[in-house]
Amino acid sequence: MDIKNLITKTLAEYFIPKVVSDFIVLTDKSGLTKSNFIDLVTKKHSYQDQILKYFSNCKLSDINTLSEAIDKLGIEQCAFAIFNISLIDQLNKNNLEEFSEIFEKEIFTAVASYTIAKESNMRSPWKAYLAGLYSNISYFLLYKHFPKEFNNIIDPKMNSISRINFEWETFGMTHSDISWLLLGRAGIPEDIREPVKNHHIKKAQSAIGKNSTNEISLAVYFGSMMTTVFYEDYLLTSMFKKDIKTFLKLDIEQIESLVTNVITNFRKEMNLLNFENIIFPGYFKIINWFDNNLVMAAAELKEAKALLNKEKKQRLKFQKVLESYNKKLVGIAIKDPLTGIYNRRYLTERLNDEFLKAKKYKSSFLIITCDIDHFKKINDTYGHGFGDEVLVKLVKVIAKTIRKADLLARIGGEEFIILCNQTNDYDGILIAEKVRSQIEKTIFTYEKNTTVPVTMSFGVANFTKDIKSVQELMELSDNRLYLAKENGRNRVVYTDSTNEALM
């Protein structure tokens, strides 16, 4: 699908009014002043009636002129009105209920980006608001021209990784890239476009203070990440806290204050927009949990101060407690309870991530699917308790044998997958054969006097440019595992030819 060609033929003002780009150019040149704002809106674009109607719809009936609006609300809030009107126009043009959730998320991203920029003393926080608001402007273009693909993208079953993977396979670029191109077509300058393009890319960020574009990019990156945490995957909370501490140099109390202010500002903005039916699901999952733990921690901290008068030590103690809660929560979600290694859910996320990176950056990885031979017979003969002992011991053997960078996951009762990145054509064969040999040598003993032979079969599949999906790669590896089973077990299969594949 030639998205680039479509955008060059698209009337950008259908999505982004000319007044927005003119506002940015004027502000960069002469500053954000009351007189500049009024001249632009009244003389050049005759946009005054739309802004006053916007404030009227926002239940601000006592505002009759632009001058009154600026005096009562502030010039930044009036600038936000221009930006918000462009999205509201899209909602009205399409008359789509499904866009109300997208609109809410865009407002949340904009408010979060602005609040982060403002409280971190970044330059031009209003640009962070605009970049956050337009970060997914591509969705309106995709709905208009590619409705079927658009419905797949907004499917609630899609997480952020699988969504980006689908976009890359379908369009050859992500929604961020499409938004970047569309904003360029509308004449939006690079210091706003670049943060939009990089709002999901951690490696594109650098520490605060480098330049204005870098600061806006940081604000929008963390604003987008907060949106993902609240609306899609609250298990990313720990990663968000860790990254924001690293990039913005915030301590735990400053992060808590920032999150609270983002939520407060978001609710104010939605009330101002007269938007009543907000969903905001992440609030109840994270903030209530967070608040309850903070209340408990605060009570204990108060008691500790009275008894010990060691405030600094106690803060460190409760910070570690909260971090411990996060680690346990993440561990429960991604680890297999019996063996302690990663589970299928986490492996799927990592495979999608590796697949996306390999497609985009032409890197290499492979998977090894392995299965314990005659495991049912072991369970039936010696009992499931001994079967569990075999699984635990076998995982330890594999973990010691594979490389430190490799990932081991249990995907079924006796089935495992080893994910290896940065590999060549033969690494998978060598790693699988090394594991197979080590397991064959390992002694498994039942009730101290009965030695039980345990072996495994392996199917190796390298990622190549011809492989279209993670599912296809897993099926290839699984088919080769089946071939190993069919040809005597306790062996490695690395091609689809039975004459060459067996070791």
> If 0-12 CB within 10 Å is exposed, 13-18 middle and 19+ buried, where does residue 351 land?
buried
- Write the CB contacts of 46 (distance below 8 Å, at least 6 apart in sequence): none
> What is the structure's pLDDT at 282?
47
Q: What is the DSSP letter of 235?
A: G
Cβ proximity of 232 and 225 under 8 Å? no
CA nearest to 352, candidates 457, 253, 472, 252: 472
- Match 């039975």 to its residue by tokens: 498
- Count how many Cα atoms sit within 13 Å of the Cα of residue 204 in the half-sphere of its side chain: 18
CA nearest to 231, candidates 160, 317, 307, 335: 160
State whether residue 410 is helix, strand or coil: strand
Distance CA 159, CA 170 (A): 16
Q: Which CATH class name applies to 3-280?
A: mainly alpha
Q: DSSP H helical segments within 426-469, as ranges?
A: 427-441
> What is the structure's pLDDT at 283?
46
Cβ proximity of 221 and 198 under 8 Å? yes
State whether residue 458 is helix, strand or coil: strand
> What is the structure's pLDDT at 111?
92
- Write the CB contacts of 112 (distance below 8 Å, at least 6 apart in sequence): 132, 222, 223, 226, 227, 262, 266
> What is the structure's pLDDT at 371?
97
Distance CA 455, CA 366 (A): 22
Give CA torsion, residues 66, 69, 74, 80, to 10 deg: -80
Cα separations in angstroms, 472 against 212, 427, 485? 44, 20, 20
Q: Which helix (H) or strand (E) holds 476?
A: helix 470-486
> What is the structure's pLDDT at 289?
46
- φ, ψ at 18 (rounded to 5°): -60, -30
Q: How many CB atoms lie within 10 A of CB 437?
A: 14
Q: How many CB atoms lie within 10 A of CB 319?
A: 14
- The terminus-to-terminus CA distance of the chain in angstroms comes to 44
Q: DSSP H helical segments within 190-343, as ranges?
A: 190-197, 212-231, 237-248, 252-272, 282, 288-308, 311-334
> What is the structure's pLDDT at 438?
97
Cβ proximity of 394 and 418 under 8 Å? no
Token pair recorded at residue 452 = 């039980």
Tell whether domain 344-493 is in CATH 2.60.120.560: no
Cα 122 versus chain centre, distance: 24
Domain boundaries, the chain: 3-280, 284-334, 344-493
Where residue 209 falls (left for φ over 0; alpha for ψ -120 to 50; beta otherwise) is: left
- Write the CB contacts of 24 (distance below 8 Å, at least 6 apart in sequence): 127, 130, 188, 189, 192
> What is the structure's pLDDT at 78?
82
Count helices and strands in the chain by DSSP H and E runs:
24, 7
- Write the CB contacts of 29 (distance below 8 Å, at least 6 apart in sequence): none
Token pair recorded at residue 434 = 């090394």
Query: In a structure prediction context, what are the per-residue pLDDT tens digits for the chain, which is 503 residues long?
Result: 577 778 777 666 667 777 788 888 878 777 778 888 888 888 766 778 878 877 777 666 577 888 888 888 888 888 888 788 777 776 776 655 667 778 888 889 999 999 999 988 888 888 898 899 888 888 888 888 888 888 888 887 777 778 888 888 888 888 999 889 888 888 888 888 899 999 888 888 876 666 788 889 999 999 999 888 888 777 777 788 888 888 888 887 888 888 888 888 888 888 777 766 666 654 444 444 454 455 455 556 666 666 766 666 666 666 676 566 555 555 557 889 899 999 998 899 899 999 999 988 889 999 999 999 999 999 999 999 999 999 999 999 999 999 999 999 999 999 999 999 888 888 999 999 999 999 999 999 998 889 999 999 999 999 998 999 999 999 999 999 999 999 999 999 998 765 445 55
Q: How many CB atoms lie within 10 A of CB 165?
A: 21
Q: Which long-range contacts (CB under 8 A, 24 or more apart) does 55-63 make?
A: 55/81, 57/274, 58/272, 58/273, 58/274, 59/274, 60/272
> What is the structure's pLDDT at 242?
85
Distance CA 339, CA 396 (A): 9
